[in-house]
Structure 1
Amino acid sequence: MDTHRTTPAILLGALLVSGCMMATTASAQDTSHTSTGGKLLLTGGVSQIEGAAGGGLTPWAVIGGYGTNDQIGGNAFYTRVQLPDYHLDDAGAMIGLYNRVEFSVAQQRFNTEKVGGLLGLGNGFTFKQTVVGVKVRLFGDAVLEQDSWVPQVSIGAQHKKNDQGAVVKFVGAKSDQGTDYYISATKLFLSQSLLANATVRFTKANQIGILGFGGDKHNGYQAEFEGSVAYLLSRKVAIGAEYRQKPNNLSIAKEDDWYDAFVAWAPTKHVSLTLAYADLGNIVIKDKQRGVYASFQVGF
């Protein structure tokens, strides 16, 4: 049996079981109106590709889950990005404490499919990256402070470790691990059903870390902009778009900025589904990497 295929399935199964357990616990606690689930639908965002609460590509300032200032929330997720020449499997979980602090973990598996063979790595060669994140809300409340123009502002860090150190260094990366730092500002305009987010990320990551950190062209931290806008069609459905700037550190692999357009549906507070069309541009030797982003999240 192919362990590269079974490991994501096992991890996904564990995440779904834990998510169902969290949802069951939340339902029981909701009957006493005490400890979970005080936020409005979709206002906690979905699970971003590196595990933080936000959009699909970029973190928001919101704290994950539906917990308010005296509550705890959490999510588990699985995401698949299917591109013409590659695919990414991504699974993880987060917990939000009292609408103040968020902890997250995610594991990404980037499969090179036939491109791996063309590069001499072998068909289906896979880069695995583990991301551990923390986010802290500094001030503001995106939902409750509707009478103020001050957004909710949070800072965060995401430490990433790539398991293919020899390969990423061969293509010019300086390290197989690194830490991104970011600051996000999120504002929800309830009367207009509109959410806007701006994030500035300080990073050395090549293709978010899949190709390591730093390179022959640049090896210092660079400030990159990320933005999201979402429109609430109803309490349960949101549509929107995202943009994420990327550094260009490696001579061997041109790197393009990322874009997506998405729809998110939350039938209940315990389940959400996100579907997007993503344009990731050039990845190593393949251009026009555009495809489907699909994510399933359970939590409370």
Structure 2
Amino acid sequence: MRLRHLPFCFAIWLIGFNTEAIRAQSLPVPDQGKLLATAGVIQVEGAAGAGLVPWAVITGYGTEDSYGFNAHVTQLNTQDYQLSTYGVALGICDKLELSLSKQEFSGSLTPLDKLKLSQDVVGVKLKLAGDLIADQDNWRPQIAIGAMYKRDQNVTGLDALGVTQVTQLGAKSNQGTDYYLSATKLFLAQSLLLNGTLRMTKANQMGLLGFSGDLHNRYQVMPEVSAAYLLNRKLALGAEYRQKPNNLSIDHEKAYYDGFLAWFPNKNVSVTLAYVDIGDITAFNTKDQHGWYLSVQIGH
């Protein structure tokens, strides 16, 4: 693989990639050489994938000699809660992905109508093997590993209960790291993409309610799956499932589901609309939560 244009690809070579040469040149314009929609969209924690699940793809449309980047904003509204996510991501040489995002969660129904939770998420993903496009003559998927470091901010809106930290709700820690392995296979002739992800996690509600708890205080492996059908070059229809741990007595955490429609008018913009079921959030409100998810991504 030739990495002729990016001096910073030297860092990738140092950690074990088989590169032929790295030449220090000025940073080029991203080549946008990958096929439309094959970079996925940005999922709710900032990684390239679908809405809920990270895929093995690297964000942006830069090929192995280039890079890609994007910014995104996402809004999820259920009957009683809102989740806003925004951030940026960078894909380097179609091998390495770096992301930074922030999640802000709030309530709208008494007694949690003033509740506000937030966390910062720093992500990294490394492509290990396979190629989404090149491996059409075999069953080998594209495979990547990733990690998401998450740190909660202070809890607000529960002052009457004396709660200002997620650890006061039963979590063992306000920070933690998810580790995952993803395999993504694209069947171009059938216009079908399949993804499976295994995530090691201690996170409660993706980490918004902290990490570990009174029921479990260990890493658990959670399966996540996605499937998408390309209706045409610019539209993808799909569904996802994401299993969740159940670490807290005050939060009977359930799996997440969604059905989504992603639109790719060009390689600079994508819009994802989904209907999501995230289960109940806390013992203070045991109603099953479902609603609409909208995400807009702009990049190069």
TM-score range, shorter chain: 0.7 to 0.9
Q: What is the match of residue 184 of structure 2?
A: 186
Contact 1:85 1:286 in 2 (8 A): no
The ranges of structure 1 where at least 4 consecutive aligned residues each deviate by more than 6 angstroms after the TM superposition are none
| 1:35 to 1:252, Cα distance in 2 relative to 1, 3 A | closer
Q: Using the TM superposition, give the Cα deviation of residue 113 of structure 1 relative to its aligned residue in structure 2, in angstroms.
A: 2.2
Q: Aligned partners of 2:269 and 2:237: how far apart in 1?
A: 17
Q: What is the match of residue 104 of structure 1?
A: 99
TM-score by length of 1: 0.86
Q: What is the match of residue 52 of structure 2?
A: 57
TM-score by length of 2: 0.86
Q: What is the match of residue 157 of structure 1?
A: 147
Aligned-partner SS, 1:96: strand
Which of 181, 203, 206 is the equivalent residue of 2:204?
A: 206
Pairing 1:141-290 to 2, within 5 Å after superposition: 141-164=131-154, 166-284=164-282, 285-290=285-290
Q: Aligned partners of 1:98 and 1:290: how far apart in 2?
A: 38
Q: Using the TM superposition, give the Cα deviation of residue 153 of structure 1 relative to its aligned residue in structure 2, in angstroms.
A: 0.3
Aligned-partner SS, 2:32: coil
Contact 1:164 1:176 in 2 (8 A): no
| Pair 1:36-2:31 in alignment | yes
Aligned-partner SS, 1:188: strand
Percent of matched pairs sharing the same residue: 54
How many positions carry a matched residue from both structures? Answer: 263
Q: Aligned partners of 2:87 and 2:29: how far apart in 1?
A: 26
Q: Using the TM superposition, give the Cα deviation of residue 34 of structure 1 relative to its aligned residue in structure 2, in angstroms.
A: 6.7
Contact 1:35 1:70 in 2 (8 A): no
Q: Aligned partners of 1:96 and 1:144: how far apart in 2?
A: 19
**Residue 169 of structure 1 aligns to which amino acid in structure 2?**
T
Pairing 1:83-122 to 2, within 5 Å after superposition: 83-115=78-110, 118=111
Aligned-partner SS, 2:167: helix
Q: Using the TM superposition, give the Cα deviation of residue 36 of structure 1 relative to its aligned residue in structure 2, in angstroms.
A: 1.9
Q: Aligned partners of 2:99 and 2:135: how far apart in 1?
A: 26
Aligned-partner SS, 1:191: helix
Gaps of 5+ in 1: 1-32
Q: Using the TM superposition, give the Cα deviation of residue 35 of structure 1 relative to its aligned residue in structure 2, in angstroms.
A: 3.8
Give the greater-gyration-radius structure (CA).
Answer: 2
Gaps of 5+ in 2: 1-27, 156-163
Q: Aligned partners of 1:100 and 1:90: how far apart in 2?
A: 25
Q: Aligned partners of 2:98 and 2:43: how far apart in 1?
A: 13
| Pair 1:294-2:294 in alignment | yes
Aligned-partner SS, 2:232: coil
| 1:34 to 1:147, Cα distance in 2 relative to 1, 3 A | farther
**Residue 167 of structure 1 aligns to which amino acid in structure 2?**
Q
Q: Aligned partners of 1:260 and 1:208: how far apart in 2?
A: 16
Q: Aligned partners of 2:86 and 2:289: how far apart in 1?
A: 21
